[in-house]
């Protein structure tokens, strides 16, 4: 099963494939603010330090959100980024 490591806390969640970053964060009791949980509101950005290729491809709503908020290309919305392999992420403020 994939592992999601959250920096700087150093918490690691071992999750079933297809689990979102948000679900993984909640599984280790990491509090993440979310408003819509559809990838649109922009309240749950995470910077991907490694394993970008192990996340689902961003859908149109998430891509638009990333563009509108001027997030760098390695930022994903936790609520919709599904895990398919090991990743290391950090909240992006």
Residue-wise pLDDT for 11-50, tens only, equals 999 999 999 999 999 999 999 999 988 888 899 999 999 9
Q: Which residues fall within 8 angstroms of residue 24, CB to CB, at 6 or more apart?
A: 4, 6, 13, 15, 83
Helices (H), 1-93: 21-27, 60-68
State the average pLDDT over residues 74-88: 98
State the average pLDDT over residues 54-76: 95
Residue 93 confidence (pLDDT) above 90: no
β-bridge partners, 93:
none
State the pLDDT at residue 36: 87
State the pLDDT at residue 5: 98
SS3 6: strand
β-bridge partners, 75:
47
All domains in the chain, ordered by first residue: 3-91 (3.10.20.30)
| Mean residue pLDDT across the chain | 96
| DSSP single-letter state for residue 52 | G
């Amino acid at each position: 099963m994939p592992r999601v490591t959250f920096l700087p806390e150093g918490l690691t969640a071992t999750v079933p494939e297809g689990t979102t970053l948000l679900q993984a964060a909640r599984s280790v009791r990491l509090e993440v603010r979310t408003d819509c949980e559809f990838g649109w509101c922009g309240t749950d950005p995470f910077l991907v330090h490694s394993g970008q290729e192990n996340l689902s491809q961003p859908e149109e709503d998430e891509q638009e959100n990333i563009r509108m908020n001027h997030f760098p290309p390695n930022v994903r919305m936790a609520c919709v980024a599904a895990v398919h392999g090991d990743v290391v992420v950090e909240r992006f403020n």
